[in-house]
Structure 1
């Protein structure tokens, strides 16, 4: 039942945002009373916390699973950058968490750091195995990865340029892995 509640909540959060989705709408969408929802969650904040835990938890599990299956650092790097989560975590929901749901925001920030850590480890692995040019300075690339990871907070930039978060990450990935100049 908790999964059904979170699934419906994710749809409402995607549609209305964190602050505007209501337990009344949730109960109506599930065809149950709010009293039934309270058997599983203590309230709206607990549902929001469960939503973030589910999104970030499934993303973490998927990332680690795909990394485990990947062959070579390049495929592992791609698995980290393009991971999957069970429910959508729209950019505007991340913004809303930043402004109004500090605990959930801290979960997003901790997860961003987790992913940067994975990418940093992969970069060190690539350098040690000769997968990067010998002239590459890992500390510069690590700094670039760290700074690029803040793109999740740049919603105004993304909107201005008509980019989704995934599209922005795809471009960051291409630049880091393929470079910026055409191959001759």
Structure 2
């Protein structure tokens, strides 16, 4: 029942946002009482906390699983950046979490740092194996990636440029991996 409640809550969160979904809506959709929900979650905030916990854990697990099945450098980069998680998080939810749920926003930041760590390790391996040029300054590249990730977590930037998060990331990868000059 706990998973059904969380799945229903995730749908409501995706539709209405973190602040606007209600326990009443979840109870109505599941045809259960609010009391039943409170057996599993002591508050709406506890549901939001579990939602983000599930997203982060499933993203890490899927990323690690995908990395273990990839051989080439580009596929591994994609595995890190595009790993899936159990529930979708529209970009506006990240901004909402930053404002109203700083602890959960912190979990997203920890996930970002985890992914950046995986990318750093992969880049270091790429330099060692000769896939990446030896003269690339990895700390600069990592900082660029970190700052870029922060930019793309900015809902207004994406809306102003009529881009989805995945499209923006794809453009960054194209620039980093293939450069900007015509050869």
- Which category describes the TM-score, using the shorter chain as reference length? over 0.9
Q: How many residues align?
A: 183
Q: Is the 8 A contact 2:67 2:79 kept in 1?
A: yes
State the TM-score, normalizing by the size of structure 1: 0.94
Q: Is the 8 A contact 1:9 1:26 kept in 2?
A: yes
Q: Measure the CA separation in 2 of the matches of 1:108 and 1:138.
A: 23
Matches within 5 A, 1:1-150: 1-150=1-150
1:162-181 Cα deviation digits (max 9, x unpaired): 11111111111221222223
Q: Is the 8 A contact 2:23 2:34 kept in 1?
A: yes
Q: Is the 8 A contact 2:152 2:168 kept in 1?
A: no
Q: Measure the CA separation in 2 of the matches of 1:157 and 1:11.
A: 25
Shift of 1:139: 2.3
State the TM-score, normalizing by the size of structure 2: 0.95
User: What's the Cα RMSD here?
Assistant: 1.2
Question: Equivalent residue of 1:25, what SS?
Answer: helix
Question: Equivalent residue of 2:32, what SS?
Answer: coil
The aligned residue for residue 161 of structure 1 is 161
1:44-98 Cα deviation digits (max 9, x unpaired): 0110011101111111110111011110332211100111111111111111100
Q: Measure the CA separation in 1 of the matches of 2:84 and 2:166.
A: 11
